[in-house]
Amino acid sequence: MNPHPLSHSDLERVSAIIDASPALVLTGAGVSAATGIPTYRDQAGNWLRSDPITHQEFIRDPRQRQRYWGRSLLGWPAVRDARPAAAHRILAQLENLGVITHIVTQNVDRLHQRAGSAKVTDLHGRLDRIFCLNCKESSGRDQIQSELERLNPSINRTTVSARPDGDADLADSMVDGITVPQCKSCGGTLMPDVVFFGGSIPSERVLEGQAALERAQSLLVVGSSLQVYSGYRFCKWARQTNKPIFLINPGVTRADDIAHKWTVEADTGLSALLNHSIKRHGHKETASHD
């Protein structure tokens, strides 16, 4: 099950996480990397792309909405069809074992829920829903996909690379030709139910995550470089309340100086944590549940 025996120091890291359980888990794009949805940042924590559409641009600029929906038309199927990776499945098992209490995710792909995790806060929203900025009516993302395809028959899906926010690359020359669907009820502007750069997270989500951290004994960050403040804030709260912070991440993070860091890929670190949690709890039968 775990092909690489752990070194003594890795074993100590795993033991420390279990000793400080149950943990609130904060996840980022790194846990979804193995699904083919690429990560926002490289291992040095730099932006991989320099041109994310901001909240204000989306709200104010019709051309930016054309750009967004054109990219989204091409990029959505990859996110819709992605399947949970080992990291998602292991986190669901760790919840069943009582090693973790709750997941706060910066991802918008809903893969934790699809893997079976019950307690999840989608901090940055969910890409599978859209809502109207005018009448607030919400609906499923798939409905607008068929509408986008019907309105834009000339946009095809040849050789595009999906982005974690469901965008894909689209030539500037094609943007002008994009027809953007409107709200069926009121004709208003539709927006994906996700927090764009420069947008704000609804306060109830933040409070839900904060309350979950209060109930936990520790914070475990998996697959996030914590460059976005909404995630890093959980590290600050954990520190203020003297809860240990553990990081499972292959690259540099913003919390390296205040956390116990394990420089390893999410799948590797979490499978070791699962194996040792099962041994510790004596629930070997749980290992066969997948």
Q: What minimum distance in Å lies between the beta carbon of 181 and Zn ion?
A: 11
Q: Choosing from 88, 102, 112, 124, which is the catalytic residue?
A: 124
**Cα–Cα distance between 212 and 210 in angstroms, integer?**
5
**Closer of 183 and 226 to Zn ion (Cβ):** 183
Q: What minimum distance in Å lies between the beta carbon of 191 and Zn ion?
A: 11
The answer to whether residues 31 and 266 touch, using CB atoms and an 8 Å cutoff, is yes
Cis peptide before 22 (omega within 30 of 0): yes
Place of tokens 């750069």: 197
Binding site for Zn ion (CB under 5 A): 132, 134-135, 183, 185-186, 188
Residue 241: count of CB within 10 angstroms of its CB: 11
Q: What minimum distance in Å lies between the beta carbon of 263 and Zn ion?
A: 47
| Inter-CA distances, 81 with 107, 131, 157, 163, Å | 15, 21, 15, 14
**Closer of 48 and 133 to Zn ion (Cβ):** 133
| Inter-CA distances, 154 with 12, 75, 177, 182, 249, Å | 57, 16, 9, 19, 41
Q: What minimum distance in Å lies between the beta carbon of 56 and Zn ion?
A: 20
**Closer of 161 and 185 to Zn ion (Cβ):** 185
Q: Is 102 a catalytic residue?
A: no
**Cα–Cα distance between 178 and 144 in angstroms, integer?**
14
Residue 170: count of CB within 10 angstroms of its CB: 21
**Closer of 15 and 143 to Zn ion (Cβ):** 143
Active site amino acids:
124
